[in-house]
């Protein structure tokens, strides 16, 4: 059986994979496994003209280089590549409905001439117009699978424009993703669902605690009159010793009043007191600035009411008395200069005051509102991926049987015109652990 001749159109080389990747035998099922891919001069001229095309120039150049190297060889098993050197003349188009000025008509005319010469010819194209003309001439047309058609390559200007559009879309998509979290302390993980153990009162025995402290701080004896060389050395005076001993006795008396008050605080307030840290996290892709966090603590109907206060305020409820400091011996004077201080005649260096940066976090005081209490926390900036501590807070309930509460937060910043809602739920644990009170009162 004669070898089948496949005549491809220019679109086969410009819009489909390279020739060695195409299944040419599928276009001629009756070829007995041997075909010849014949490249007409019209296809070569059209590929050569496309080398300066802004989009298809690179692909046309690659196809011409491949055709030059594969000429007269088998590009696939049973598929031989040849180039037709014959060009159709203008007078040959007179007897047909074809145009000399159209490259596709040159391909069709050459295929018709080969078919008239007794060859088995198949035209390979995806051009609908060329398909219709070929059927009019009585040619066999093989349509390409459009699913294998390559995407049109972009020009350099189109690539730059596409990259700029992608970067602009990424910039527009960047935003700050803020939310409020809570943790038990600095070492625990911050979350929006926090479980806290109910505080256990830590009571102390006042007598034992005072006895331990008295063993550490004892009365000072009177120094007496100096003798010999001690007259020249500075020393602690009797008045300083008497003052310290009197302050120490007053300190012990204050401890006797403090420990009962401390135990009363532990019994009445500690089981109702919940302490936690609030954090602000930015999981977005943009730095957030001028952030205002409005925290609202509603009064649960089961728990009566809750009061929010800063931990610094809690210390005012019960605080231990101040320990007196023992008197210290004055520094010895120089035997020659005495009390003369030469530095008083030297002008001290006063550095210029540096600009003080405003605090990064500003915390407002709680104020009562309808249904609970609210306070505002202002943050100057928060980088993306950071988590900033907003402060430590305490909630005091009106009864001991509290089970949990919810903080509703409203966040505003300069990067997001709309409000961001964030909730923090704090619940009590059922498995309570007894606290160790061995270090209380020391």
Instruction: Give the domain ranges of the chain.
Output: 4-148, 179-333+357-428
What's the mean per-residue pLDDT of the chain?
A: 78
Q: What is the pLDDT of residue 379?
A: 92
- In the CATH hierarchy, which fold is given to the domain comprising 4-148? Rossmann fold (3.40.50)
In this predicted structure, the answer to whether residue 169 has a pLDDT above a threshold of 50 is: yes
Among 264, 201, 88, 216, smallest CA distance to 434 is for 201
Query: Per-residue pLDDT tens for 45-84?
Result: 888 888 888 788 888 888 899 888 888 888 888 888 888 8
Q: Backbone phi, then psi, for 384, in 5-degree steps?
A: -70, 135
Burial 370-409 (b: 16+ CB within 10 A, else e): eebbbbebebeebeeeeebebebbbbbbeeeebeebebbb
Question: In this prediction, what percent of the chain has a pLDDT beyond 70?
Answer: 79
Stretch among 22-31, 125-134, 306-315 having the lowest mean pLDDT:
306-315
Classified as helix, coil or strand, 291 is strand
Question: In this prediction, what percent of the chain has a pLDDT beyond 90?
Answer: 5
| Both tokens assigned to 168 | 């602009």
Distance CA 318, CA 201 (A): 14
276-280: average pLDDT: 91
Stretch among 8-12, 221-225, 258-262, 310-314 having the lowest mean pLDDT:
310-314
- Top CATH class of 179-333+357-428 equals mainly beta
Predicted model pTM: 0.52
Q: What is the pLDDT of residue 302?
A: 35
Among 277, 280, 297, smallest CA distance to 393 is for 277
In this predicted structure, the answer to whether residue 307 has a pLDDT above a threshold of 60 is: no
Distance CA 363, CA 272 (A): 24
In this predicted structure, the answer to whether residue 280 has a pLDDT above a threshold of 90 is: yes
Q: What is the pLDDT of residue 438?
A: 34
Q: What is the pLDDT of residue 279?
A: 92
Q: What is the pLDDT of residue 180?
A: 92
Distance CA 381, CA 78 (A): 71
Contact (Cβ atoms closer than 8 angstroms) between residue 82 and residue 67 = no
Domains 4-148 and 179-333+357-428 share a fold: no
Among 85, 61, 59, smallest CA distance to 72 is for 85
Q: What is the pLDDT of residue 421?
A: 87
Query: Per-residue pLDDT tens for 18-56?
Result: 888 888 888 887 777 788 888 888 888 888 888 888 788
């Amino acid at each position: 059986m004669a070898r089948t001749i496949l005549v491809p159109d220019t679109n086969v080389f410009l819009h489909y994979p390279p020739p060695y990747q195409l299944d040419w035998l599928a276009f001629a099922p009756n070829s007995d496994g041997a075909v010849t891919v014949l490249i007409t001069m019209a296809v070569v001229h059209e590929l050569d003209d496309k080398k300066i095309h802004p989009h298809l120039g690179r692909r046309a150049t690659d196809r011409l280089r491949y055709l030059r190297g594969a000429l007269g060889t088998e590009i696939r098993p049973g598929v031989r590549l040849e180039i037709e050197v014959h060009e159709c003349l203008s007078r040959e188009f007179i007897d047909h409905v074809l145009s000399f000025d159209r490259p596709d008509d040159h391909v069709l005319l050459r295929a018709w001439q080969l078919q008239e010469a007794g060859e088995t010819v198949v035209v390979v194209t995806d051009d609908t117009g060329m398909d219709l003309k070929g059927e009019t001439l009585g040619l066999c047309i093989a349509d390409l699978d459009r699913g294998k058609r390559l995407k049109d390559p972009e020009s350099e200007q189109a690539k730059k424009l596409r990259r700029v559009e992608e970067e602009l879309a990424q910039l527009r998509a960047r935003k700050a993703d803020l939310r409020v979290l809570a943790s038990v302390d600095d070492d625990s993980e911050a979350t929006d669902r926090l479980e806290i153990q109910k505080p256990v009162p830590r009571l102390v025995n006042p007598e034992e605690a005072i006895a331990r402290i008295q063993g550490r701080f004892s009365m000072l004896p009177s120094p007496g009159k100096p003798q010999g060389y001690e007259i020249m050395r500075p020393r602690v005076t009797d008045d300083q010793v008497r003052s310290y001993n009197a302050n120490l006795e007053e300190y012990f008396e204050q401890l006797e009043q403090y420990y009962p008050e401390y135990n009363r605080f532990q019994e009445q307030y500690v089981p109702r007191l919940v302490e936690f840290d609030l954090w602000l996290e930015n999981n977005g892709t943009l730095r957030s600035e001028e952030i205002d966090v409005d925290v609202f603590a509603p009064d649960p109907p089961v728990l009566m009411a809750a009061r929010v206060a800063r931990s610094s305020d809690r210390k005012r409820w019960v605080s231990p008395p101040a320990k007196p400091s023992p008197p210290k011996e004055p520094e010895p004077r120089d035997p020659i200069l005495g009390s003369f201080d030469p530095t008083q005649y030297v002008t001290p260096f006063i550095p210029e005051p540096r600009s003080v940066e405003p605090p990064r976090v500003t915390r407002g005081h709680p104020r009562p509102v309808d249904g609970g209490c609210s306070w505002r926390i202002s943050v100057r900036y928060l980088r993306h991926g950071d988590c900033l501590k907003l402060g430590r807070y305490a909630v005091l309930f009106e009864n001991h049987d509290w089970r949990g509460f919810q903080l509703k937060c409203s966040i505003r910043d300069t990067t997001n015109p709309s409000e961001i809602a964030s909730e923090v739920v704090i619940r009590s644990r059922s498995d309570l652990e007894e606290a160790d009170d061995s270090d209380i009162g020391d």
